[in-house]
Homo-oligomer: A and B are copies of this chain.
Amino acid sequence: MNKIENRAWTSDTVAADLERAIHEHRLPPGTKLGEDELGEAYGISRTLVRAALLALSHRHLVELKRNRGAFVAQPSALEAREVFEARALLEPRTARSAAVRMTEADLAVLTANIEEEHAALDGGDNGRALLLSGQFHLEIARIANQATIANFISELIARSSLIIALYWRRRAALCETQAHHALLDAFTRQDGDAAEELMKNHLLDLVASLDLRNVIQPPASLREALKR
């Protein structure tokens, strides 16, 4: 594998780089993440790679199978529902808090984000659009000034990206930008009630855009899956 870049990688920056790649669907669910391969790619030893993979496994983005290696996680339909239930518990109230604390600078950041996402979609870069969409949600948590909750939301958003990769039904285009625009309006008016309600519905729409009935469940073991 090619060397990625000549910079001083640490386990933290490697983990962040991998998380970004996962979030952008450049590393789809189930991808094997070999230690030697990654070590060579980043120009570091397996020690640091393992630390990075361990960190990602704690965020449920990577699954470590003993003596088998690390794989990009494949959330089950059950897990997918749980992730969105957790988001439904955290994000609407966080959006409300953010709304009442909103400053001009914050609005500018969110606006820029939406525009970038639009550009990415026009350019056909769906991965980048998805990453930006996640960053929109994360930025709201940051504005709400709740680092602890923001951490949880950050993990949930990244896991949502895996869920979308696995369960999104392509019917309609992700009309996320619509919902984000509506939220931005509420934020501009510092309307907490509206922000909370919009976020709640936005998350419900997201779940509705998934197909969690067909329990594609575990490609876990090919041996089991292909029996018969």
Q: Is the interface of A mostly helix, strand, loop or mixed?
A: helix
Question: Is the beta-carbon distance between A89 and B149 smaller than 8 angstroms?
Answer: yes
Interface locus among A50-58, A187-195, A218-226:
A50-58
Report which residue of A55, A152, A156 has the largest number of chain B beta carbons within 10 angstroms of its beta carbon.
Answer: A152
Question: Is the beta-carbon distance between A83 and B148 smaller than 8 angstroms?
Answer: yes
**B-contact bits for A133-155, CB 8 A (1 contact / 0 none):** 00000000000001111001000
Question: Is A90 interfacial (CB-CB < 8 Å)?
Answer: yes
Residues 29-53 (chain A) with a chain B CB within 8 angstroms: 50-51
Question: Is A208 interfacial (CB-CB < 8 Å)?
Answer: no
Question: Is A93 interfacial (CB-CB < 8 Å)?
Answer: yes
A-B contact pairs, 18 of them (CB 8 A): A50-B51, A51-B51, A54-B55, A58-B58, A58-B59, A79-B148, A82-B147, A82-B149, A83-B148, A85-B146, A85-B148, A85-B149, A86-B146, A86-B148, A86-B152, A89-B90, A89-B93, A152-B152
8 nearest CB pairs, A to B: A82-B148, A58-B58, A86-B148, A86-B149, A152-B152, A82-B146, A83-B148, A54-B54
